[in-house]
């Protein structure tokens, strides 16, 4: 039985909602934000920013990692972000280098999860099973990872740019962090309204190529 695919990236269409697609998408989003946030927390702790009794930082309850605006962005555009993980670069031996590693751990973890699930998909296809749900998990995690390259906070690349600004740009950094989520949401809505897209023509081919490679086609 060949796998039945949903579009990649997957974007909810209010006019053509199917229960299995909505449930699969919701589960995939929760997995994506949880692995993204927990990876950042783990690497930060491993590199020196350890915390005692921080249940919000290390907690596999995916609901604690939800960001309101990030969740809305997933519903609108198929990508989003978790609640920002608190990191203190002052506790790192090499603050700037370790900060880069820590923030990028999120999207890298999304790609690793997609790769692991890709192995499950190959096994299911070998036994003639339909891996629709697992294909959704791959698609959402790859989409999350690639769209995190957009240089707007709280996406990974955007947070890196803001946090690596020199101390004299503290005011600019604060404003950048404040307006970033709203700029991303505006971009997401413009993507839905624009026939050609804005960043999707550049990022979506990368997502599709990685998705096809992971699922083995």
Q: Where does 59-155 have alpha helices with state H? A: 68-77, 95-126, 132-147
pLDDT at 177: 84
Does residue 108 sit within a domain? yes
- Would you tell me how many other CB atoms lie within 10 Å of the CB of residue 192? 13
Please report, in angstroms and rounded to a whole number, the separation of the first and last CA atoms in the chain: 15
pLDDT at 4: 52
pLDDT at 93: 92
pTM score of the predicted model: 0.92
Q: Could you tell me the mean pLDDT of each successive run of 10 residues in the chain, 217 residues long? A: 71 88 95 95 91 70 90 96 90 90 95 96 90 95 96 88 78 85 95 90 96 87
Does residue 27 sit within a domain? yes
pLDDT at 191: 92
- Tell me how many degrees the CA angle 33-34-36 measures, rounded to the nearest 5: 65
How far is Cα of residue 148 from the mean position of the Cα atoms in its chain?
Answer: 6
Q: Spell out where the chain has E strands.
A: none
Does residue 147 sit within a domain? yes
Does residue 25 sit within a domain? yes
Does residue 8 sit within a domain? no
pLDDT at 2: 41
- Would you tell me how many other CB atoms lie within 10 Å of the CB of residue 133? 19
Number of domains in the chain: 1
Does residue 6 sit within a domain? no
Domain that holds residue 165: 19-215
Q: How distant, in Å, are the alpha carbons of 58, 108, 153, 167 from that of 174?
A: 26, 26, 11, 11
């Amino acid at each position: 039985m060949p796998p039945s695919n949903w579009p990649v990236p997957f974007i909810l269409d209010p006019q053509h909602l199917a229960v299995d697609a909505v449930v699969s998408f919701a589960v995939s989003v929760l997995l994506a934000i949880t692995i993204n946030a927990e990876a950042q927390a783990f690497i930060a702790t491993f590199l020196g920013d350890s915390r005692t009794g921080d249940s919000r930082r290390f907690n596999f309850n995916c609901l604690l990692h939800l960001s309101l605006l990030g969740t809305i962005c997933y519903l609108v555009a198929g990508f989003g972000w978790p609640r920002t993980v608190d990191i203190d670069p002052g506790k790192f031996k090499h603050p700037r280098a370790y900060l880069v590693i820590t923030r990028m751990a999120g999207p890298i973890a999304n790609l690793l999860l997609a790769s692991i699930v890709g192995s499950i998909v190959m096994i299911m296809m070998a036994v003639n099973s339909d891996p629709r749900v697992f294909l959704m998990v791959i698609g959402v995690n790859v989409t999350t990872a690639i769209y995190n390259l957009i240089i707007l906070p709280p996406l990974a690349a955007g947070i890196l740019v803001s946090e690596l600004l020199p101390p004299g740009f503290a005011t600019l950094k604060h404003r950048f962090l404040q307006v970033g989520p709203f700029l991303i949401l505006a971009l997401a809505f413009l993507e839905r309204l624009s026939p050609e897209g804005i960043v999707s023509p550049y990022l979506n081919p990368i997502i599709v190529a990685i998705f096809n490679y992971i699922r083995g086609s």
